[in-house]
Structure 1
Amino acid sequence: MVLRGNHRIAPEVGRAYARAVRRLAPIGPQEPRQPWLKLLGDGADTAPHAAPGSCAVEIVPQDYLAEQFVLQEVLDRHHRAGVPFDEIAVIARNGAMLQRLVRMFQAQGVPVQQSMSDVVLNQEPAVHPLLRILDVVADPEAQPVELPEALTLLTSRYGEADSMTLRNLRQVLRQQERRSAVGEPRSSDELLCAAINTPEDPVVAAVQAQERYRHLTRGAARISAMIRSGRAAFDAATGPEELLWAIWDAAGVSAHWAGVSRKPTAEGRVADQDLDAVMALFQAAERFADQNPGATPQAFVDHMERLELPMDTLAKTSAGDQAVEVLTPASAAGREFDTVILTGLQEGAWPNLNPRGQLLGGGQLVDVVEGRTDTSAQSPLVKRMSVLQDEYRLFASAVSRAKRRLFAVAVHGQEESPSMLLDLVVPPNERTARGSAIPRPITAPRLIAELRCHLEHSFQRELDGATASPADEQEREAAARALARLAHDGLTGAHPDQWWGLPELSTEDPLLGPEDVVRVSPSSVQTAVESPLQWFTSAAGGVEATDFSRMLGSLIHEIAEHHPTETEVDVLLKELEQRWHSLGRDEGWEAERDRRRAETMIGKLAQYFRAAQQEGREVEARELQVEATLEVPVPEVQHTDEDGAVTPEARPDLTRTVQIRGVIDRVERTADGKLFVIDLKTGRGKPTKDDIVTHAQLGAYQLLVSLGAVDQALTSAAGEDQGSGTARPERPSGSLGAALLHVGTGVKKIDLQGQTALGEGDSWPLEQVTLAAQVMSGARYDAFHASQGRGCRIGALCPLCTDAKQVTQP
């Protein structure tokens, strides 16, 4: 059957299609080609009743601008031409560009839908973890999950952990391990693996039982449940479908994702795509089982992970209302759209003239079937022309998907050139000059931001003394009316109630009431005293991500804890070599430099351990958990009278409870029974000689010694080691002082900064703890910049930094 008429393509789009058809070698009856070729010749319309259309081409210097032009075209067609989103298609030659476009549309809040036939399934965030768990549970030897796999699963869609969550989970597990460990405490890596492999582990179970840590352990518990359910369902007769369902069902995310997917938000679109990917995975498992009867689940995993190209799928995907389609030419076949946008038209990419079927000889088989076995048909030029014909067919198919509007964009840069196919859309002599150099696609968030910015700057100029002209007042009123209309339609950020900085403070009450216990650690005393705002931002979660320097410091601490009296450098270096892999450092010159730095730290540790033995100090404990409770006075209350005068009112009769809790790296005892507290530092900086005299962290440690808390902790630790209780000493041990042991500085000899023992009249440590407790329980937090030129660690919230400001400032 021959289709002779055109019932949908506008004449302008038809001419672009005709130019593509003209490049195709004639095959079979030529009658269907004639109307299109005639359209190029005399302009006679093949579809006289079709709506008018248009074609346009843009050549830009950067990939980013190409994406912006695509976005602008979509928004213009939707808002100005009234084209529904589901009548707009963006077609690209390869899947990698499709993924970039999908991310771009999602970031801009444009609803987008991608066919699962264009997705490399094993790379989908919701599929990859399922395949990894399927591989783990299908292992006949039931090997436990190793650390790299555990981290991958914990940070997946199902583990829901980010770097901050992992860091907090490691700390919580490590603290619980130190409290309950009988022998050598396990590392945080071992505890993370235990949380997945053996959730009944006493330490893991104790942490999961606490409600305040539920947000940290939820992901690990889900991963563990998925693995356990899969292993329970696995046997020799279990196919990949049944095992995959057991794992998916144990995840318990189906109902939640389905509910989120109904919301018109970015999270909803992600959940919608995740559900589509999981559906496609189940369909792939079903087809694999049908094609390979008796195949094991591991064979299915191996099959899926070998895929490097999108696979065909018959799985149904959710049909979201009003979503832009992102397609390849193959997946767009058989469809039609009002508007088609062609992107990625680069020389070498589309057309892609690389030979096909070279590995398995598929092209040669086609040549034999079609009778092209003579020498002339096998020449490289003929094969190249054959590939070019295939590319023309793909391009013609993509062009013919459009009814009224065809838009093409390409990049012309130092390393990229536009494709010759661009000339088939609009010939160079028919192109119009671009109206603006850089597109400014107006999405809803961008429109709201610009309207708010215009209002803010307009009022700010008036506050600065400038006189508003009638035109300025009209623009201001128009912007306000536009925001009111957007707010009435429910767009986020348009209503003033949603603007940061304008609503009243939810509360001005202090962080803790007078009856609440203030929990203070010796290390936090230093920060709270020197920079209250930095302490508050850190306590609220605004801490730097764990970098390699911190990880290296933790490793040095662990080696010092496990070998507290080892004076042989070779023994410590061997321990470093055994643990180095846990840092996950790739080989290279940076790793070699860090390794040499770590070896230098180890050498300084051995040097100090040797000096301590020579001076007659014995190690009493390492990583000792110490706590003490004391009462401190409540700060004076400020009263403001009607005239605005502030009168402080002291309350000497009121006190509040402060609990000091911390971990001392090393406690030594001299021959005469005095205690010497050591805090190990692996950083490059250190306090000055003047600062060390009243160093708050060391002062807090000495306060714990004077209160007898260190003696009590030593007694408790000795009782646990011996399996029996030990009598608490009647009076605190004497103190030799405290010191910072620096192993990361450039000093070659032992770098020990000591703080002399407290005298009977020294009350400054208690005063610092009291001040820190007042800061930690207060309602306002001051900002101070550290001395000695050290950079501000508060960040964007610091009011003293020139590059930081309040969100309400212009």
Structure 2
Amino acid sequence: PERLVAHDPAYARGAQRLGALLRKARELLEGGGTAEEALWELWDGTPWPGRLERAALRGGAAGRNADRDLDAVCALFDAAARAEERTGGRGALNFLEELDAQDIAADTLSRRAVRPDAVRLMTAHRSKGLEWRLVVVAGVQEGLWPDLRRRGSLLEADRIGRDGLAEPLSPGALLTEERRLFYVAATRARERLVVTAVKAPADDGDQPSRFLAELGVEPRDVTGRPRRPLAVAPLVAELRATTVDPEATPALRDAAARRLARLAALTDEDGHALVPAAHPHSWWGLYEPTRSTVPLRDRDHPVALSGSTLDQLENTCALQWFLGREVKADAPATAAQGFGNVVHVLADEVASGRTPADLAVLMERLDSVWDGLAFDAPWKSAQEKEHARVALERFLRWHVTDRGGRTATATEHGFDVTLEAGPYEVRIRGSMDRVERDAEGRAYVVDFKTGKAAPTKDEVAHHPQLAVYQLAVREGALDEVFDGRRPEPGGAELVQLRQAAPKKEGGEDFPKVQAQEPLAGEWVGDLLASAAGRVLDERFTPATGQHCAHCAFRASCSAQPEGRQIVE
């Protein structure tokens, strides 16, 4: 430590303290101290014990990590103590070498500091010599208590005796030992003992232990479940509901409020609330809804919409669209989205002539970028890569097949047109995967899909994204592609590259194709007007459906149990 005095104290102070601590431990060992004593000197000389204690008492994820760290430290001290007792003290270096040589960890159980006014959870063995006012012995099931299976450590060290290896306990001796242990657990209660077990209707299901009959009390059958889970969060929820329940008596509401106040006032030694949900500050349902003074969209400008936006606003969930697209709170791109992007890029390269329509070439291009996609496991990456190969193979077959005389005119064609939709001006923009010219000179739009689900035939007939593409064609989005002439929309289709065509259309070798007829009627204009009005009026109400299973905003959605705390 003396060498550090020439350095800036702000940087050297910690190193000086550590050097002094290590010197004290070295001097202790040189004076004949044990490894356990040296460990204690190091442990007690740092602020780490205090930090771990505070974190453990605070609870939560950090508390659980602190508990594990404390267990590990206690196990280290126990190992040092056992080593001294077993070998008569062979020095710290020998102890460290012994730890390093262990292939099987020694016993990690260690006693924890007892928190006041807390429930103690322990085994029957640990309860010997202790007593409490109330004791609960849970899970007293036949097969678990008594447990007549042979047990012991992996290497059966428990059989080592003074005269060599002892014989394993017989079933009768095991039963006697289990009965004695049950007696120990049951006699720890000074005032009240609760013993629980599960009884299944069928004879071959879980049954109570035979020891229950030896208690001298007739067991009481309790059917059904508790009215709420026996945990802090459900307790707070029940108390909160009681305080605002119009059918509850004033006395009951007052009692619930007082209990909530007691819970809200509980803090740890650092002043952090132990039950923050008990405080009314977090009861969002009591607050009036907030409103933004700045509108989401300027009513004096056209409302910008895309085909996918229209589909989500009208057919999926407006709240999901708002939180994902406008708030930008959507989850990061997934590997499935990366899969789709790669396949789309390769399909575009083939259609535009930049890459030959050869599967081997496409797979070589795929190999060059595939490792950039993040999958949960190597097997998943291999599985998805095979799906990509099949999708590309189907695309190539579709690409070279005659499709009623249609010829490719443009790929990945961007468009941006403004039109009238009811009382609103709407700006629709996006990109068409592929544009083809049919035999009658009309424009036909193709949209490649790589998802695992496909719409029904009726849903395709009014598919918003395909309809927007056709509407854009009608409004001049492809005029320059068709040499300045405005083509009529000749229809549109979804090409499902992940899904095989029906047998009569080629089967597994070809993709499933879902076509939409040329636009008829005003339904797509009405759909645009409805979506534009929803955005301008900021009406983003949730709608439930299959999409909810994969929604990232369930905890913020009032239509889901997880999100009802927002309004209740």
**Fold equivalence (TM over 0.5):** yes
Alpha carbons of structure 1 residues 437 and 763: separation in structure 2 relative to 1, 3 Å: closer
Alignment of 1:369-768 (within 5 A): 369=164, 383-413=170-200, 414=202, 415-424=205-214, 426-427=215-216, 430-431=217-218, 476-489=249-262, 491=264, 501-507=285-291, 509=293, 512=296, 514=298, 520-530=305-315, 532=318, 535-536=321-322, 539=325, 555=339, 558-559=342-343, 561-562=345-346, 565=350, 604-611=394-401, 617=407, 660=429, 665-666=433-434, 677-681=445-449, 682=451, 683-686=453-456, 688=458, 690-691=461-462, 695-699=466-470, 702=473, 706=477, 739-743=493-497, 744=499, 747-748=502-503, 749=505, 751-753=513-515
Residues 406, 436 of structure 2: 8 Å contact kept: no
Partner of 1:293: 97
Q: 1:273 is aligned with what amino acid?
A: R
Cα distance in 2 between the residues matched to 1:437 and 1:616 = 67
Q: CA deviation at 1:735?
A: 9.2
Partner of 1:60: none
Residues 511, 776 of structure 1: 8 Å contact kept: no
Residues 666, 678 of structure 1: 8 Å contact kept: yes
Aligned partner of residue 327 in structure 1, secondary structure: coil
Partner of 1:183: none
Q: CA deviation at 1:608?
A: 1.3
Alignment of 1:209-228 (within 5 A): none
Aligned partner of residue 148 in structure 2, secondary structure: coil
User: 1:20-62: per-residue Cα shift (whole Å, max 9, x none)?
Assistant: xxxxxxxxxxxxxxxxxxxxxxxxxxxxxxxxxxxxxxxxxxx
Partner of 2:144: 349
Partner of 1:312: 108
Residues 434, 447 of structure 2: 8 Å contact kept: yes
Q: CA deviation at 1:327?
A: 1.0
Residues 736, 757 of structure 1: 8 Å contact kept: yes
Q: CA deviation at 1:312?
A: 2.4
Residues 130, 188 of structure 2: 8 Å contact kept: yes
Q: CA deviation at 1:332?
A: 3.4
Q: CA deviation at 1:524?
A: 1.2
Aligned partner of residue 446 in structure 2, secondary structure: strand
Residues 692, 755 of structure 1: 8 Å contact kept: no
TM-score, normalisation: structure 2? 0.57
Aligned partner of residue 706 in structure 1, secondary structure: coil
Q: CA deviation at 1:680?
A: 1.4
Q: Does 1:366 align with 2:161?
A: yes
Alpha carbons of structure 1 residues 697 and 553: separation in structure 2 relative to 1, 3 Å: farther
Cα distance in 2 between the residues matched to 1:342 and 1:679 = 64
Residues 522, 701 of structure 1: 8 Å contact kept: no
Alpha carbons of structure 1 residues 417 and 767: separation in structure 2 relative to 1, 3 Å: closer
Q: 2:469 is aligned with what amino acid?
A: L
User: 1:343-382: per-residue Cα shift (whole Å, max 9, x none)?
Assistant: 2222221222212359645465438448x6xxxxx5x8x6
Q: 2:259 is aligned with what amino acid?
A: L
Cα distance in 2 between the residues matched to 1:611 and 1:698 = 23
Aligned partner of residue 330 in structure 1, secondary structure: coil
Cα distance in 2 between the residues matched to 1:545 and 1:277 = 32
Cα distance in 2 between the residues matched to 1:348 and 1:677 = 68
Cα distance in 2 between the residues matched to 1:516 and 1:257 = 58
Alpha carbons of structure 1 residues 632 and 562: separation in structure 2 relative to 1, 3 Å: closer
Q: 1:431 is aligned with what amino acid?
A: E
Partner of 1:46: none
Q: CA deviation at 1:404?
A: 3.4
User: 1:294-324: per-residue Cα shift (whole Å, max 9, x none)?
Assistant: 987xx88xx5xx76xx93255x856544221
Q: 2:199 is aligned with what amino acid?
A: H
Residues 454, 476 of structure 1: 8 Å contact kept: no
Which protein, 1 or 2, shows the higher relative CO under an 8 Å CA cutoff with sep ≥ 6?
A: 1
Q: Alignment identity in percent?
A: 20
Aligned partner of residue 421 in structure 1, secondary structure: helix
Q: CA deviation at 1:277?
A: 0.8
Cα distance in 1 between the residues matched to 2:53 and 2:436 = 59
Cα distance in 1 between the residues matched to 2:433 and 2:478 = 19
Residues 510, 777 of structure 1: 8 Å contact kept: no
Alignment of 1:155-234 (within 5 A): none
Cα distance in 2 between the residues matched to 1:331 and 1:573 = 63
Q: CA deviation at 1:434?
A: 6.2
Q: CA deviation at 1:403?
A: 3.5
Cα distance in 2 between the residues matched to 1:486 and 1:777 = 45
Cα distance in 1 between the residues matched to 2:98 and 2:433 = 58
Q: CA deviation at 1:793?
A: 5.0
Residues 501, 808 of structure 1: 8 Å contact kept: yes
Residues 258, 271 of structure 1: 8 Å contact kept: no
Q: Give the counterpart of 1:332 among 107, 124, 127.
A: 127
Alpha carbons of structure 1 residues 354 and 614: separation in structure 2 relative to 1, 3 Å: same
Aligned partner of residue 296 in structure 2, secondary structure: coil
Cα distance in 1 between the residues matched to 2:153 and 2:541 = 70
- Structure 1 residues not aligned, in runs of 5+: 1-253, 373-377, 460-474, 637-649, 712-729, 786-790
Alpha carbons of structure 1 residues 567 and 318: separation in structure 2 relative to 1, 3 Å: farther
Q: CA deviation at 1:449?
A: 5.1
Cα distance in 2 between the residues matched to 1:784 and 1:348 = 49
Partner of 1:71: none
Alpha carbons of structure 1 residues 808 and 366: separation in structure 2 relative to 1, 3 Å: closer
Alpha carbons of structure 1 residues 735 and 325: separation in structure 2 relative to 1, 3 Å: farther
Residues 528, 535 of structure 1: 8 Å contact kept: yes
Q: 1:504 is aligned with what amino acid?
A: E
Q: 2:308 is aligned with what amino acid?
A: S
Cα distance in 2 between the residues matched to 1:283 and 1:332 = 19
Residues 422, 526 of structure 2: 8 Å contact kept: no
Aligned partner of residue 489 in structure 1, secondary structure: helix
Alpha carbons of structure 1 residues 678 and 410: separation in structure 2 relative to 1, 3 Å: same
Q: CA deviation at 1:408?
A: 1.8
Aligned partner of residue 406 in structure 1, secondary structure: strand
Alpha carbons of structure 1 residues 355 and 575: separation in structure 2 relative to 1, 3 Å: farther
* Number of positions where the alignment pairs a residue of Structure 1 with one of Structure 2: 462
Residues 339, 405 of structure 1: 8 Å contact kept: yes
Cα distance in 2 between the residues matched to 1:752 and 1:317 = 65
Residues 668, 676 of structure 1: 8 Å contact kept: yes
TM-score, normalisation: structure 1? 0.43
Residues 432, 446 of structure 2: 8 Å contact kept: yes
Alpha carbons of structure 1 residues 735 and 313: separation in structure 2 relative to 1, 3 Å: farther
- Structure 2 residues not aligned, in runs of 5+: 1-48, 81-92, 265-275, 351-355, 506-511
Alpha carbons of structure 1 residues 354 and 746: separation in structure 2 relative to 1, 3 Å: same
Aligned partner of residue 147 in structure 2, secondary structure: coil
Alpha carbons of structure 1 residues 581 and 567: separation in structure 2 relative to 1, 3 Å: farther
Q: Does 1:778 align with 2:551?
A: no
Q: CA deviation at 1:271?
A: 2.5
